Amino acid sequence: MRVEPVIREPRIPQASTPLVFQYQRSGIPIVWAPGTVNLQECRERLRQKKLHHPALSNDPNDPLNWSTLRKTLNFTLACLYVLFTFLATSAGGPAYNAYVRDLNLTFPIYTASNAANFAGLATGCILFVPFIHKYGRRPLYLLSLTVQLAMAIWSANMTTAHEMIPVNLIFGIGGSLSETIVQITITDLFFVHQRARMNGLYMLMQSTGVCLGPVAIGFVVDSQGWRWGWWWCAILIGATLVLSIFAFEESKYVPARGSRDATDEETSVFSPTSNAKPRASASDAASSHSIAKDTWPRPKPYRQRLALVTPTPGSVTHHFYQPFVVLFTFPAVAYTALTYGSLISWVTAISTVQSSQMIFPPYNFSASEVGLLNIAPFIGVIIGTIVGAPISDYSIVRLASRNNGIYEPEMRLYLAIPGGLISFAGLIVFGVGLGQGLHWAVVAAGSGIFSTGFVILADIALSYLIDCYQNVIADALVAVVFVRNGISMIIMFTLSPWLHGFGVQNTFICMAFVALAISMLVIPLLLWGKDARIATAKSYEMFTKRQAVYRHIEGC
């Protein structure tokens, strides 16, 4: 049976803002809001099969106009940065038994050090992200890699268990940008119809570091010792730093004078095509094209593309507190923060409990065997990436075509419901398997099932947020990451007494039902998400104008 998408037509506000429009298309009233895009008209306009949104400019220095090779190199280095950041974050798990033996580590200190890492991740974003607006992406990437390199070297030289707490705190501060700056880079480089796939690759790199990193570290611990696990982290992070110094270009786009949007029609931050001026004829367009070409900016030379900073005028002080205002202003930000934050906290709980419990009977796993257990969640990540991101990008085009060519960001959210159910099932299987001492394959299957749902849910949530509020994405992601790490920090601090009081099985059953409840928050957004975007359109325009640099957005 064919199921038609349910896209509610929201109430039309009494006092419209510059970001909310109505017009007639085939006799159907269309209400525009931040994130609403007319895929069909953009496709006709650009004579392409997919949407170029945001609008193209004629500036060769615009990252959206970069060649495929330049984009690939830039995003590959960003992915390596994410991979090795999360490798370092998870490198301590397989070495838990060695820490107990050599550093007299206790489980409460271990969980406290993990909590300190999340505290660093939470506070680091607040400290550093405003400077992304002011000085660009490149210097913050390099700073983050430098701090992590120093902490990897310190970790390799630890002599007491208590050193793990300050090391993990500073490690978290250094790696905090990995959860925001890459999404900003995706927004810089890619169009709306490409972002779910790019976010999928980001999630794949993150999950590869979290899942396969412990596999490699486990073998290193057994063969070379736990200190060499950290030395290898230092080598990989250092190599990425060197490559980034010589090859990672700044992707912050500062429009040059004389540059203009390819469409050059809209004057507000956001507007639909139907409010635009009439199209010029082909001959007029060709004539204006040749005239405008004389004013196009020249491509930057190599040294300018690798400048240490790309400053922009104006204060960024408001970016230190604006993420919290954004969090409580836009429901999409709150949804993404709760969804992504809870998912990461469950991943951390699984990893922590697995590394500390599987070394005891009935399993008696070595460091390498504990590491090998992470292959299961990696397989789950691969399945989730293959299934989730392409279906998400394909489905929005199909659903938009059934909605008179109008794309609403809520169209991405349908896939979140099966993703939530899969995550719920994975937590149940993992908790029951480990709590009952079942075969290790059951435990591995549980973490693998959860990882499949995790990738689907996280990709959907992040893509939905970017689609809705692209111009304030940096502040929104700071809010998301702060909540995510705050939740994880609380879970880590309470995990030890939780396990002691409830046991492994009941603890993970509780987590599963909490995870299910949070994942079902997608239902109110499916029903009232566009209403919320319309209601917050004026606030979005206000926050957009407060950005140091923002890209002109049109609804097509």
DSSP state letters, 495-544:
HHHHHHHHHHHHHHHHHHHHHHHHHTTHHHHHHHHHHHHHHTHHHHHHHH
Interval 422-444 mean pLDDT: 96
Q: How far apart are CA 493 and CA 264, in angstroms?
A: 53
pLDDT value of position 54? 65
Q: Which of 122-131, 153-162, 256-265, 520-529 has the lowest mean pLDDT?
A: 256-265
509 pLDDT higher than 90: yes
Q: Shortest CA distance to 420 belongs to which of 345, 337, 340?
A: 340
How is residue 431 written in tokens?
A: 């908790």
Q: Which of 149-153, 235-239, 251-255, 492-496 has the lowest mean pLDDT?
A: 251-255
- DSSP annotation of 56 reads P
Question: What confidence tier does 293 reach under pLDDT thresholds 50, 70, 90?
Answer: low
261 pLDDT higher than 60: no
Please write the tens of the pLDDT for every residue from 542-553. Answer: 888 877 555 554
Residue 7 lies inside a defined structural domain of this protein: no
pLDDT value of position 296? 66
User: Omega before 54 cis (within 30°)?
Assistant: yes
**Total domain count, the chain:** 1
Q: How far apart are CA 37 and CA 408, in angstroms?
A: 7
Residue 260 lies inside a defined structural domain of this protein: no
Residue 192 lies inside a defined structural domain of this protein: yes
239 pLDDT higher than 80: yes
Interval 392-410 mean pLDDT: 84
Q: How far apart are CA 254 and CA 280, in angstroms?
A: 28
How is residue 267 written in tokens?
A: 């004057």
Q: Which of 56-65, 128-137, 292-301 has the lowest mean pLDDT?
A: 292-301
Interval 14-42 mean pLDDT: 57
pLDDT value of position 373? 92
Q: How far apart are CA 135 and CA 69, in angstroms?
A: 25
Phi, psi at 406, each rounded to 5°: -95, 125
Residue 481 lies inside a defined structural domain of this protein: yes
- The pTM of the whole model exceeds 0.85: no
Q: How far apart are CA 537 and CA 556, in angstroms?
A: 17
Q: Shortest CA distance to 473 belongs to which of 465, 463, 485?
A: 465
Q: How far apart are CA 220 and CA 94, in angstroms?
A: 10
Q: How far apart are CA 293 and CA 107, in angstroms?
A: 65
pLDDT value of position 401? 83
Residue 119 lies inside a defined structural domain of this protein: yes
249 pLDDT higher than 90: yes
Interval 356-378 mean pLDDT: 91
AA letter at 479: A
pLDDT value of position 262? 43
Q: Which of 350-359, 418-427, 464-473 has the highest mean pLDDT?
A: 418-427
Q: Is 455 exposed, middle or buried (0-12, 13-18, 19+ CB in 10 A)?
A: buried
Interval 260-276 mean pLDDT: 42
268 pLDDT higher than 90: no
pLDDT value of position 3? 41
CB 183 within 8 A of CB 466: yes
Question: What confidence tier does 436 reach under pLDDT thresholds 50, 70, 90?
Answer: very high
Residues linked to residue 23 through DSSP beta bridges, in sequence order: 30
Residue 516 lies inside a defined structural domain of this protein: yes
CA 87, 93, 98, 99 dihedral sign is positive
70 pLDDT higher than 80: yes
Residue 141's H or E segment, with its range, is helix 138-156
Q: Could you tell me how far CA 313 lies from the centroid of its own chain? A: 27
Interval 78-84 mean pLDDT: 95
Residues 6+ positions from 5 with CB-CB distance below 8 Å: 399, 402, 403, 411, 414
Residues linked to residue 38 through DSSP beta bridges, in sequence order: 406
Interval 498-524 mean pLDDT: 95
How is residue 117 written in tokens?
A: 């890492």
Interval 27-40 mean pLDDT: 68
User: Higher-confidence residue: 474 or 377?
Assistant: 377
pLDDT value of position 52? 57
pLDDT value of position 228? 96
User: Higher-confidence residue: 357 or 180?
Assistant: 357
- Give the rounded percent of residues in the chain with a pLDDT score beyond 70: 82
Question: What confidence tier does 143 reach under pLDDT thresholds 50, 70, 90?
Answer: very high
Question: What confidence tier does 556 reach under pLDDT thresholds 50, 70, 90?
Answer: very low
User: Higher-confidence residue: 555 or 405?
Assistant: 405
Residue 552 lies inside a defined structural domain of this protein: no
Question: What confidence tier does 332 reach under pLDDT thresholds 50, 70, 90?
Answer: very high
Q: How far apart are CA 36 and CA 407, in angstroms?
A: 6
Question: What confidence tier does 430 reach under pLDDT thresholds 50, 70, 90?
Answer: very high
User: Higher-confidence residue: 516 or 52?
Assistant: 516
CB 149 within 8 A of CB 198: no
AA letter at 554: E
User: Higher-confidence residue: 31 or 325?
Assistant: 325
pLDDT value of position 44? 59
Residues linked to residue 21 through DSSP beta bridges, in sequence order: 32
Residue 21's H or E segment, with its range, is strand 21-25
How is residue 465 written in tokens?
A: 């947020």
Q: Which domain holds residue 437?
A: 63-254+317-545
Residue 69's H or E segment, with its range, is helix 68-90
CB 522 within 8 A of CB 335: yes
The three-state secondary structure class of 130 is helix
| Torsion, CA 134, CA 137, CA 140, CA 144, rounded to 10 | 160
CB 175 within 8 A of CB 148: yes
Residue 463 lies inside a defined structural domain of this protein: yes
pLDDT value of position 207? 78
Interval 240-247 mean pLDDT: 96
Question: What confidence tier does 41 reach under pLDDT thresholds 50, 70, 90?
Answer: low
Interval 498-509 mean pLDDT: 93
Question: What confidence tier does 101 reach under pLDDT thresholds 50, 70, 90?
Answer: very high
Residues linked to residue 30 through DSSP beta bridges, in sequence order: 23
Q: Which of 11-15, 41-45, 148-152 has the highest mean pLDDT?
A: 148-152
Interval 494-501 mean pLDDT: 89
User: Higher-confidence residue: 443 or 395?
Assistant: 443
Q: Is 239 exposed, middle or buried (0-12, 13-18, 19+ CB in 10 A)?
A: middle
User: Omega before 362 cis (within 30°)?
Assistant: yes
Q: Is 320 exposed, middle or buried (0-12, 13-18, 19+ CB in 10 A)?
A: middle
CA 81, 83, 88, 89 dihedral sign is positive
Q: Which of 16-20, 37-41, 377-381 has the lowest mean pLDDT?
A: 16-20
Neighbours of 436 (CB within 10 A): 11
Q: Which of 54-63, 150-159, 256-265, 507-516 has the lowest mean pLDDT?
A: 256-265
Average pLDDT across the chain, whole number = 82
We report the CATH number of the domain holding residue 80 as 1.20.1250.20
365 pLDDT higher than 80: yes
